[in-house]
Amino acid sequence: MYELGVVYRNIQRTDAQVADRLGPLGSATVHEAMGRVGLMKPYLRPIYAGAQVSGTAVTVLLHPGDNWMMHVVAEQIRPGDVVVAAITAECTDGYFGDLLATSFQARGARALVIDAGVRDVRTLTEMKFPVWSKAISSKGTIKATLGSVNVPVVCAGMLVTPGDVIIADDDGVVCVPRASAQKTLDAAAAREANEGEKRAKLAAGVLGLDMYNMRESLAKAGLRYVD
Amino acid sequence: MYELGVVYRNIQRTDAQVADRLGPLGSATVHEAMGRVGLMKPYLRPIYAGAQVSGTAVTVLLHPGDNWMMHVVAEQIRPGDVVVAAITAECTDGYFGDLLATSFQARGARALVIDAGVRDVRTLTEMKFPVWSKAISSKGTIKATLGSVNVPVVCAGMLVTPGDVIIADDDGVVCVPRASAQKTLDAAAAREANEGEKRAKLAAGVLGLDMYNMRESLAKAGLRYVD
Amino acid sequence: MYELGVVYRNIQRTDAQVADRLGPLGSATVHEAMGRVGLMKPYLRPIYAGAQVSGTAVTVLLHPGDNWMMHVVAEQIRPGDVVVAAITAECTDGYFGDLLATSFQARGARALVIDAGVRDVRTLTEMKFPVWSKAISSKGTIKATLGSVNVPVVCAGMLVTPGDVIIADDDGVVCVPRASAQKTLDAAAAREANEGEKRAKLAAGVLGLDMYNMRESLAKAGLRYVD
Amino acid sequence: MYELGVVYRNIQRTDAQVADRLGPLGSATVHEAMGRVGLMKPYLRPIYAGAQVSGTAVTVLLHPGDNWMMHVVAEQIRPGDVVVAAITAECTDGYFGDLLATSFQARGARALVIDAGVRDVRTLTEMKFPVWSKAISSKGTIKATLGSVNVPVVCAGMLVTPGDVIIADDDGVVCVPRASAQKTLDAAAAREANEGEKRAKLAAGVLGLDMYNMRESLAKAGLRYVD
Amino acid sequence: MYELGVVYRNIQRTDAQVADRLGPLGSATVHEAMGRVGLMKPYLRPIYAGAQVSGTAVTVLLHPGDNWMMHVVAEQIRPGDVVVAAITAECTDGYFGDLLATSFQARGARALVIDAGVRDVRTLTEMKFPVWSKAISSKGTIKATLGSVNVPVVCAGMLVTPGDVIIADDDGVVCVPRASAQKTLDAAAAREANEGEKRAKLAAGVLGLDMYNMRESLAKAGLRYVD
Amino acid sequence: MYELGVVYRNIQRTDAQVADRLGPLGSATVHEAMGRVGLMKPYLRPIYAGAQVSGTAVTVLLHPGDNWMMHVVAEQIRPGDVVVAAITAECTDGYFGDLLATSFQARGARALVIDAGVRDVRTLTEMKFPVWSKAISSKGTIKATLGSVNVPVVCAGMLVTPGDVIIADDDGVVCVPRASAQKTLDAAAAREANEGEKRAKLAAGVLGLDMYNMRESLAKAGLRYVD
């Protein structure tokens, strides 16, 4: 994979209504709805607590220590997008700060997900521009080598194809492929619908052992109780 | 060690009054009072700042990626307990979320300490159910393999026997064995009693060098000053 | 390097006015102004968000698990200093807590930067005494072995000579050598002066591609656009 | 991405002659020939030194702690294949040992590349069945959950599509997409052809500065020499 | 747990014949025979390949950077023992080198397992004194603080009680409690007995899918094949 | 620190006879002789076992992913030198391979110590050109940004001034400042002289407890024996 020096201008974004509705369901519910796949590695952490976004992925592939393509991807952002940045090797440098965030926000980006470092996090927090990153670092970058924009990339262990849906919150970042976004939304919404009733029962002291009828299968597996 | 497929229902909990009084002394003071032992590895971090708890340990041993026994341990919780979860191999999956937290809280648990991942951290924060964990991850788990409940476990490098006292705050997590809980409480309280006076002296500009009479021993060790 | 058992009492501090003016410029801008050098490794993190300090370095070299010299360095602190603590091997123990912080603060220290662990972080946060550290840990230390005070040290991968300027904020920690402090301040201030105008343009939707005239050089490097 | 519970039996393998010729060129040369992309993360290490293989990828996607699909993928191996195993979350368990290696070898597999752990490494070394893995661990796995075979997977940060070419040696593991395998082979062979002459010159004491005509560009970039 | 300043001279060692017979079965087989528990974390690695030992545990608890108790434990070694060294906090210092190895070997120790660093590895390799450690480091240690000998310790995440059996080879380190050593030996030997026949079948091309009758359960779980 | 874009041609190398005699004493003995300082972090590992070198440091400072200055430093190598390469941020890329090694070897370099990655390790092993590195990686680098040659650098946590002595073996890498090289050699040789006699005693079964007269100080510290 990994074509270098190319910018794809026309990508097929997931329907905005589907993308928007996935966010509030949360990364954990969506990840379960996909069959427990789609999750980026948990080393990606939000720069501040409480952000919860979803949007359509525009992707950028960068080389270690070089953020030139960040300026190229900015032009490809449309309102409702989340920028997903992958690096061709491990790097913790600060590829992104308040100036780029101002530009991304002006173009309508909702967030950045980056498999590297970010800086100016206090200003980004004040701007309410959320970033999920591997590191926070003042280390600046150069502008010397071409990467690509809107090619499929691997970010924090997960393949992201431009136009996929990104769901990010305090629990992590999930990627839902465009082709399965509607199906995933339906499954996740169904999961969510059940949760209120379950929560009420558990709050009332009902045990999961009984609510999920686990006692029999546990006994069959050989669980024994000792007084 | 590590007996599998067993739930011990009757464990000897440390006296509740002792357990309760250890919490406010803090993990650092208690750890010192034990002779600088008893501390879990510092990679365990609270999911939100400011929580400070102590309680009696109920333990659960789980396999990687499998949270079945979490439902089994819920039944064994009594008010004032802290659940301590160990895994038989390294794992960052999210074993615990808002539904289990609702159940644990309804049973009277004060906190969870887990050598793996947790999810729904925003909701857990709103519920004020504190968790000390190795990771935050949306990754769900299966229910396929038996572990055990209320067996001695190693959590983040420290042995925890059911009924021991767990003290957890922003500085980390300490385990005090039941047999030495009263003695540790006495020693920790004595340490604490001294601190106010020391703090006042230091705030007034007195140096630790003088307050602790270190100058002579430093000189004896060979320390020399160069102007 | 690394002379042991010595305390240098007279060090040449960078001019206080220069040191003070570097802080508000921020670690990222200062690091760029130095030619993208001077940054400590990004594993150093502040114990609470929002702190932003600069000051002149007093240094202390310690052995793993031994904080004896922390009391020795306290005496050498002058108002406006930042204490920089290096360890002779990797260690996450909690070398520093609220008592030492009280003493450091009483002597006029603005912050601690330590390549190891710290404890009592809740109290330190309440005291508004910021610390940048590698770990948070209740683990206490002993007082058995001599290190040194005000010798050049390597902290988190960066050489710090006593009297250098330390700039620390949410993005990380930068060290500016005394000899280049004024020059760095001028360069950083110049960078900063440009940023307001750039930010306004970017906020108005102007692209970095145009504002920085990147299109030609990208095309020359071979970038191609696909519709 | 990540379809679960599916085995694709018919995959389009890269032409065997192309795959076979890429191996001796080595992972470093092939990676350069692709434009410095295609490399799996360097935490993947061979279980013994000196192995050098290339072959066509058959892929398997597994859940943490569950190696059931390893038996399913065995049936899909053809002579000349390299099995690439990805896990849906971080895991260091030993998914693979001497029995599976015997089976894989009998089916014609040349190697295993796995983003997790492996065991029986002494026997595997004696069998000359090379494995590139993230860990070595005795920890066994269960057989409870479906993954997939011959779907695209992300292994150690790199996308692998079934039929791609895997090149693995002491320097690491590279994946060459089927579509660009011939082009990459040509480019890599051309690079290789030049190396002998260069090596002779350098061995004779000619400097890279002169051989590559770097002096002018270094001077233009501002390099200065101080005597 | 963790009593400090005590040396237990009389420990109940597992029967030597049982301990000796567990070694050749290997850590992976023994770990499986215990129900997939008992394994130390896989970051412990042998300092040279090919060593395979088993023996009865004598334990030593040390403080970070302090190897004083290594000399104390030496006296407690009997022929057939394996020394297991735990540290009260994370440390990579080199606690053990060729002089201590000479002493340990003279006392009849078969190996050292240490949750820290070791040095003089070339000489240890020549002496054929195997060590499983977390790090290799020239960093020396001091002799200032008491630990304990022959108390239960946690080493690399696993509880070890003096007299337990340690099995260590290229795949890792397993601890078998004295009480279950005979039972584990029987189970491990039974597993081993089956392996030869299985290996022959697999080498002949029989698939695990058939040999283990997995096809039906896979189909029941929903696995589907696509041509 | 860290001046960029400069090559210092005239450095003061430690006397060759002193540098040469330090190597056979080994990194552990030399590190002890310096008072347990001078050691680079233990994550630096040799690419093959058994190499043991010492030599005078020539230094090179590089940017992440950019090995341009490697060609510049080659010209400054004199017979007996060891090249020490530092990077301005964390990086695992393969900065150095067989062509550069051929050039370095032709210039008389004895080894490379690099706080980053290396490649072509099989060829380097055949050439007997030892490298101590943080990673092994096929990832290539670009040639775009100036660093410096023969400035003081921090490599793996240790300050190295050009002309210092580097001692590297299987236990790690130590830097001895030029000014203290003779004194360190004398102290290390004295330590070494004692070791033969000690080893003989220990091999004969004498305990360190007796040989070092530790029993009294242990008893004074409170050690007690329990039968």
pLDDT at F1: 57
Residues of chain A in contact with residue F91, where contact means CB-CB under 8 angstroms, are 64-65, 89-91
Min Cα–Cα distance to chain E from C137, Å: 10
**Whole-number mean pLDDT of chain D?**
96
The pLDDT value recorded for residue D3 is 83
Host H or E run for residue E154? strand E153-155
- Per-residue pLDDT averaged across C79-91, rounded? 96
pTM: 0.96
For E28, residues 6+ apart whose C-beta sits below 8 A from its C-beta are D94, D97, D119, D120, D138, D140, E171, E172
Query: What integer pLDDT is reported at residue D194 of this predicted model?
Result: 84
- Write out chain A residues lying below 8 Å of F63, CB-based: 65, 142
pLDDT tens readout for residues F67-113: 999 999 999 999 999 999 999 999 999 999 999 999 999 999 999 99
CA–CA distance, B23 with B25 (Å, rounded to integer): 5
- Confidence tier at B26 by pLDDT (50, 70, 90): very high
Q: Quick check: F99 and D208 CB within 8 A? A: yes
* Residue F135 to chain A, least CA–CA distance (Å): 12
Provide the ipTM: 0.95
- Residue carrying the six token digits 């997903």: A84
Say what the pLDDT of residue A218 is. Answer: 97
Residues in A closer than 8 angstroms to C172, CB to CB, are: 119, 136-139
C183 reaches F (C-beta below 8 A):
no
Q: Cα separation of D65 and E39, whole Å?
A: 14
End-to-end CA distance of chain A: 59
Picking from D119, D162, D111, the residue whose alpha carbon sits closest to that of residue D138 is D119
**Tokens representing residue E47 in the block:** 């300092």
Looking at residues E58-62, what average pLDDT do you find?
97
Average pLDDT, chain E: 96
Contacts of B4 (CB under 8 A, 6+ apart): B61, B146, B147, B148, E35, E37
pLDDT of residue E194: 84
Give the chain D residue nearest F97 (alpha carbons).
Answer: D28
**Mean pLDDT along residues F175-204:** 94
The stretch A48-71 carries a mean pLDDT of 97
pLDDT tens column, E62-109: 999 999 999 999 999 999 999 999 999 999 999 999 999 999 999 999
Q: Using CB atoms, which residue from A172, A202, A226 is nearest to B7? A: A226
pLDDT for the residue numbered C132: 98
pLDDT-derived band at A18, boundaries 50, 70, 90: very high
Please count the CA atoms within 13 angstroms of the CA of A172 that sit on its side-chain side: 33
Rounded to a whole number, what is the distance in Å from the CA of D159 to chain A's nearest CA? 7
Tens-digit pLDDT profile for residues A109-163: 999 999 999 999 999 999 999 999 999 999 999 999 999 999 999 999 999 999 9
Q: Given E32, E209, E224, which is nearest D6 (Cβ)? A: E224
Could you read off the pLDDT of D161-199 as tens digits, one per residue? 999 999 999 999 999 999 999 999 999 999 998 888 999
What's the full length of chain B, in residues? 227
Give E178-221 pLDDT, tens digit per residue.
999 999 999 999 999 888 899 999 999 999 999 999 999 999 99
Q: Residue B10 pLDDT > 90, yes or no?
A: yes
**How many contacts does E have with F, using Cβ atoms within 8 A?**
110
Per DSSP, helices labelled H in chain F are 16-22, 27-33, 68-76, 98-107, 121-127, 181-203, 208-211, 215-221
Radius of gyration of chain F (CA): 20
C:E CB pairs within 8 Å: 43
Q: What is the pLDDT of residue C1?
A: 57
CA dihedral D198, D170, E125, E181 (to 10 degrees): 180
Could you tell me if C171 and C39 are in contact, meaning their C-beta atoms sit under 8 angstroms apart?
no
The answer, for A92 touching chain C at a CB cutoff of 8 Å, is yes
The neighbour count for residue F6, using CB atoms within 10 Å, is: 17
DSSP H/E element including F85: strand F81-87
Per-residue confidence band for A1, with pLDDT thresholds at 50, 70 and 90: low
List the single residue in B42, B63, B159 with the smallest CB-CB distance to E159: B159
Say if residues C149 and C164 touch (Cβ distance below 8 Å): no
CB atoms closer than 10 angstroms to residue F180: 20
- Res A3: pLDDT: 83
Task: Note the pLDDT of residue D1.
Answer: 57
Cβ-Cβ contacts under 8 Å between D and E: the total is 110
Interface of F with E in 106-165 (CB under 8 A): none
Mean per-residue pLDDT for D206-218? 96
Query: Rounded to an integer, what distance in angstroms lies between the CA atom of residue B56 and that of residue B70?
Result: 17
| Cα of C137 to nearest chain A Cα, Å | 21
- State the chains in contact with E (3 or more Cβ–Cβ pairs under 8 Å): B, C, D, F
Q: pLDDT band for F3, please (50, 70, 90 cuts).
A: confident
Q: How far apart are CA D19 and CA D178, in angstroms?
A: 9
Which of F63, F103, F105 is most worth mutating to test chain D (most D CB atoms within 10 A of its CB)?
F103
Alpha-carbon torsion, ordered F63, F65, F71, F74, to 10 deg: 70
Mean of the per-residue pLDDT values of chain B: 96
- D40-63 per-position pLDDT tens digit: 999 999 999 999 999 999 999 999
The string of pLDDT tens digits covering residues B110-157 is 999 999 999 999 999 999 999 999 999 999 999 999 999 999 999 999
DSSP character for D165? E
Interchain contact F/A (3 or more Cβ pairs less than 8 Å): yes
Name residues 187-206 of chain B within 8 A of E (Cβ). none
C197 Cβ neighbours under 8 A, 6+ residues apart: none
Hey, what amino acid is at A145?
T
Q: Is D225 helix (H, G, I), strand (E, B) or coil?
A: strand
Flag whether pLDDT at A2 surpasses 80.
Answer: no
Q: How is D112-133 classified by DSSP, letter by letter?
A: EEEEEEE--HHHHHHHT--EEE
Which of F90, F92, F119, F136 to probe by mutation at the A interface, max A CB count within 10 Å?
F90
Interface test mutation site (partner A, options C54, C169, C171, max chain A beta carbons within 10 A): C171
For residue C41, give the nearest of C168, C173, C136 by alpha carbon: C173
- Confidence check: pLDDT of D8 > 90: yes
Which among C20, C34, C33, C3 has a CA at the least distance from the CA of C148? C3
What does the pLDDT average to over C3-10?
Answer: 94
First to last CA, chain E: 59
Nearest to D132, CA basis, from D66, D41, D69, D70: D41
CB B2 within 8 Å of CB B147: no
The C-alpha angle F88, F91, F94, rounded to 5 degrees, equals 115
